Structure 1
Amino acid sequence: MPVHTSNGSQGNHGRGVGLGLALVSALAFGGSGVAAKPLIQAGLDPLHVVWLRVAGAALVMLPLAVRHRALLRRRPALLVGFGLLAVAGVQACYFAAISRIPVGVALLIEYLSPALVLGWVRFVQRRPVTRAAAVGVVLAVGGLACVVEVWSGLSFDALGLLLALGAAGCQVGYFVLSDQGGDAGEEAPDPLGVIAYGLLVGAAVLTFVARPWSMDWQVLTDGVHMNGTVVPAVVLLLWIVLVATVLAYVTGVLSVRRLSPQIAVVVACLEAVIATVLAWVLLGEHLSAPQIIGGAVVLVGAFIAQSSTPAKGSAEPVASGGGTDRELSARETAA
């Protein structure tokens, strides 16, 4: 059923539920990299892992796609956009990135997306932003410079960094498209239907790109090494499909519907911290002190950048300033 927000105590309850869903989504997404990297190191191509992830999740969600088949006629552009950006684009860029750079670094770069969401609000929606938001963006960029250690001549793989930045751009599409139609009441597209068709579109695109018929299927029948421990490959694949994809997308989209892209993307930043900790514990990856500090600065900057952005349904302006900005914001909210 479509998720609705309301005022008063019900609105507060909805916000609390939305924050809880966003936390679950961050936890689920955060475990995808540490489960995928052993499969990649065992011989699977990153794109093949992405295809297995998306195609498996699409099969799980197929009954919901059949149930909500009217969406094909009502919102075809939304379904195609969600599939291309929020599913195929994010996953392909992210998995290709972690094959070349550490999981934590890839996620920290990907989570420049809060600053990119803010840029969407400012330059696409043409809504002014506060000075605090601008400071947050500067901090995020400065933290990124520490993460990639620019003073050492980009010691990380340059292509890996570009792929991670590509994942950040696609993730902006995920949050923006997840919010589409959220205020349309009974006419809002069902979020589960959007996810189901997004996964189907993503699987179709990735089938053409990844060419799974050339994949080494034998890897899935053997055990893979995770920091010295042998784990059945199929167990990691099931985790990636059911938890890190199906559960992560469902809770993520529902949280954006209850909150807003600007708020949900802040909570989602915890994914970077979760993935970094899991990579340290399960994969034995380590970050230098400057990189850890830079990662913290990225997250702090992202939080500051979004803390001045109102929640969904709020009449507060994005920018501080005179009454004109408040009047414009009020008119936009009323519309």
Structure 2
Amino acid sequence: MHETSGTETSLRGRSRGFGLGLALLSALAFGGSGVAAKPLIAAGLEPLYVTWLRSAGAALVMLPVAWRHRALLFRRPALLMGFGLLAVAGVQACYFAALSRIPVGVALLIEYLAPALVLGWVRFVQRRPVSRAAAAGAVLAVGGLACVVEVWAGLSFDVLGLALALGAACCQVGYFVLSDHGGDDEDGAHPLGVIAYGLIFGALLLTVVVRPWNVDWSVLAGSADMDGTTLPAVLLVAWLVLLATVLAYLTGVISVRRLSPQVAGVVACLEAVIATVLAWVLLGEHLSAPQIIGGAVVLIGAFIAQSSTPKPPRDVASRTGDETRAEAAMPAGSTRSAGSTGSAGSVGSTGT
């Protein structure tokens, strides 16, 4: 009996360690999306076109998964289209557009206002109570953001860039609210299927808006500059599609199933840290001491907000960036919940 119990404990420990490793890999993959996208934008590709390349490429890779879960098209069409509109097209388009005007770390940190905005939705739209700890976390996040954008200097960053980053946060709010309605019934949608079809619908929507056939494709045959290092543009596109989207989502999905909400929530916050460090090392983007402190306060506030809400709209504050995007579809009754995502994106199981 004791031997069996010890074996089960050992297996759980190994599974947890494996899940943590995958969660860190997912955070690293999601955190690198801005670093890969910014040189492409600087090389002449419009932010929306970069968004389309990422979504369309990932959608093609995920086609086999979409085919396996094709029944979702008839059972949950509104969920799939909403996921594609907000979690794929909206968040990515606003985020990448913001990158063309402000640093990667600042853009991603602003996205972490989403937990505070969701609390407002829960309190004033859904009219559900919000704990004092959650409200304090939201206040911390807003205060930290004031330090990040240096409000005392009259907003040291481009105002439109800040507005676009805030738009990405608002799209994430829509994602979180949608996730609250996505798996409450017995007809819950499989998270992998929602990720696949979300990418497909997002790519189709962006195709109509971007009209990629009118874009100068020759840019992809050229190179892009990453803080003095010249890289093939197509290599950066492959990075965005295979690493920052497909690998990030899939590793996140597996990892979230193996971690507790608390651990997954902490790992999710690492996405912003990883993005900022990568932008510093690879793009030469430096933040001042007050901005670094403010960023830490934003992350702390976001974590408190997401972990203290009485009943967050299923994983309400865990995935930001590019990141949070798959947890939305977690089926009802799943063992994963609120901060559960190894990072950005792992759908219910769970995002940039």
Give the TM interval when normalised to the shorter protein. Answer: 0.7 to 0.9
Return 243-252 or 150-159, whichever deviates more. Answer: 243-252
Residue pair 1:106, 1:161 contacting (<8 A) in 2 also: yes
Q: Are the structure 2 counterparts of residues 255 and 159 from structure 1 closer, same or farther at C-alpha, using a change threshold of 3 Å?
A: farther
CA contact (8 A) 1:101 1:157 kept: yes
C-alpha contact 2:91 2:169 (8 A) present in aligned 1: yes
Q: Cα offset for 1:123?
A: 3.5
With the length of structure 2 as denominator, give the TM-score of the two structures. Answer: 0.78
Deviations 1:52-111 (CA, angstroms, capped at 9, x unpaired):
000001111112212211111100111011000000001000000000000000001011
What secondary structure does 1:225 align onto? strand
1:109 aligns with 2:110: yes
Task: Map 1:40-79; keep pairs closer than 5 Å.
Answer: 40-79=41-80
Matched, 1:32 2:33: yes
- Partner of 1:317 in structure 2? none
Q: Deviations over 1:203-226 (max 9, x none)?
A: 011111112122221121122111
Q: Could you say which residue in structure 2 is the equivalent of 1:141?
A: 142
Equivalent residue, structure 2, for 1:173: 174
Report if the CA contact (8 A) 2:265-2:303 is conserved: no
Indicate yes or no: 2:198 matched with 1:198: yes
Partner of 1:290: 290
Conserved 8 A contact 1:108-1:272: yes
Q: 2:111 touches 2:166 (CA, 8 Å); kept in 1?
A: yes
* C-alpha distance in structure 2 between counterparts of 1:171 and 1:255, whole Å: 21
Distance change (3 Å), C-alpha of 1:181 and 1:82? closer
CA distance in 1, matches of 2:170, 2:73: 26
Q: CA deviation at 1:175?
A: 4.0
Find the aligned partners of 2:127 and 2:32 in 1 and give their Cα distance: 36
Structure 2 counterpart of 1:163: 164
- Structure 2 gaps, min length 5: 1-8, 315-332, 334-352
| Greater RCO, 1 or 2 (C-alpha within 8 Å, sep 6+) | 1
Unaligned runs of 5+ in 1: 1-7, 315-332
Q: What's the CA shift for 1:247?
A: 2.1
TM-score, normalised relative to structure 1: 0.81
CA distance in 1, matches of 2:39, 2:150: 26
Q: CA, structure 1 residues 172+254, in 2 after alignment: closer, same or farther (shift >3 Å)?
A: farther
| Root-mean-square deviation (Å) | 3.2
1:252 shift after superposition = 4.2
Match of 2:112, as an amino acid?
Y
Verify the 8 A CA contact 2:131 2:310 in the aligned structure 1.
Answer: no
2:300 & 2:136 partners in 1: Cα distance? 10
**Residue 322 (structure 1) aligns with:** none
Q: Aligned in 2, Cα 1:87/1:271: closer, same or farther, shift over 3 Å?
A: same
Change (3 A) 1:11 1:121: farther
CA, structure 1 residues 259+120, in 2 after alignment: closer, same or farther (shift >3 Å)? farther
